[in-house]
Amino acid sequence: MNSRVEHIIREGRFDKERLVELLSCGAEDSKPIFLEAAKVKKKYIGDAVHLRGLIELSNICSKNCLYCGIRRDNKSVKRYSIGINDVEKAIQFAIVNNFGSIVIQSGEITSGLFARQIEQILIKATCMSQGKLGITLSCGEQSKATYERWKIAGAHRYLLRIESSNKKLYYKIHPNNQAHNFENRLQSLTDLQSCGYQTGTGIMIGLPEQSLEDLANDLCFMRELDIDMCGMGPYVEHEQTPLYMLRKHLLPKSERVFLTLKMIALLRIMMKDINIASTTALQAMVDGGREKALRAGANILMPNITPGCFRDDYALYQNKPGTQEEAEDSKINMDALIKRAGCYPAYGEKGNSQHFAQRQILS
């Protein structure tokens, strides 16, 4: 093993230069990183894996991101928005199966009608579960007033991925216009924190023209923002997006997976008590990808409880696993992979961010 890697980890100073050094290590030299991440996770998080029942509410999106399969200009997508009755059935499934939390995810829409729809779902979920369900939203950039409204209605957590903290790279994967404004994205994250949400962000790993320096800066960005949770995964290309034409310039899948696992491990070491999701994108790249993420430091899984007839149409990227499953199948498969990773499913627990709770105590 690389004694330099062991020295950096032992010293515990993770600046950009040292993070680049760690990210550049091969598999053998990286072993101390994963060993330390496992030790940190065991001490601060334990073996519990908290489940978030994922409801993919709508694939209607006003954004035109260059990497995303449900981008506005992709005319081949069958657009949908799940009705309240089907949403209630999904919520009821989460309650009956003792999930501690649900996630409401959608394309980015900023209309008053959409704001009221989310508010209605939040009130219904809170009522149906008698306040026992933790509720995460991932519905894109909204006004601060909308964030406040949703918080009052019952939302606890919000995930808004930055995708890249490098402004130049951000505009290589998004149109450079007001609808995809980098500063607005940052402001939304600040607004979420000021509204009292457990706030999460995340990035894609292995993007075209992305450097190890970019990834190191992303880790520093998340630490400086003082996030409570993170969802990051490998970039998985979609053939009906503009970024697909750069597919020949991508890192091999195995390297994107390895870098993602290393990013998870380093973030766990740097931010010991945050929630880190094991993302579906990893499973799309390699069998057992989500288990590998749990071993690397992740502690959150999101079994898909979206009605099966809608799953194929929420295709952010290609080869998304689980689209042919129903909610019960997703639950069974999640239980099995959690066990294979040497962990246990924490049923009946909201799984709130310990990092957020500690900050509340100190403030």
Give the strand pairing for 198-201 and 204-205.
unpaired
**Cβ within 8 Å of residue 202, ≥6 positions away:** 159, 161, 162, 163, 230, 231, 232, 233, 277
Q: How does DSSP assign 165-227, residue by residue? A: S-HHHHHHHS-SSGGG-HHHHHHHHHHHHHTT-EEEE-BEES-TT--HHHHHHHHHHHHHHT-
What is the mean pLDDT, run by run of 10 residues, along the chain of 363 residues?
87 96 96 97 97 95 96 95 95 95 97 97 98 97 98 98 98 96 98 98 97 98 98 95 95 96 98 96 91 97 87 71 67 89 95 94 77
The C-alpha R_g of the chain, in whole angstroms, comes to 19
d(CA 50, CA 47): 10
Q: Where are the beta strands (DSSP E) in 9-120?
A: 48-58, 101-106
Q: What is residue 321's predicted lDDT score, i.e. its pLDDT?
A: 61
Q: What is residue 340's predicted lDDT score, i.e. its pLDDT?
A: 95
Q: What is residue 309's predicted lDDT score, i.e. its pLDDT?
A: 80
Q: How does DSSP assign 227-258, residue by residue? A: -SEE--EE----TTSGGGGGGGGSPPHHHHHH
d(CA 200, CA 360): 16
Q: What is residue 331's predicted lDDT score, i.e. its pLDDT?
A: 81
Q: What share of the chain is helix, strand, coil (3-state, %, to 5)?
A: 50, 15, 40
Extract the tokens encoding 97. 């199966």
> Residue 277 has what DSSP assignment?
B
Q: What is residue 233's predicted lDDT score, i.e. its pLDDT?
A: 96
The answer to whether 222 and 267 have CB atoms below 8 angstroms apart is yes
- ∠316-319-322 over CA atoms, to 5°? 90
Q: How does DSSP assign 290-328, residue by residue? A: HHHHHHHT--EE--B-S-HHHHTT--SSTT-TTTT--HH
Exposed / middle / buried, residue 73 (Cβ in 10 Å: 0-12, 13-18, 19+): exposed
The answer to whether 311 and 299 have CB atoms below 8 angstroms apart is no
Extract the tokens encoding 235. 């970039």
| CATH class of segment(s) 47-362 | alpha beta
The residues spanned by each domain of the chain are 47-362
d(CA 239, CA 233): 18
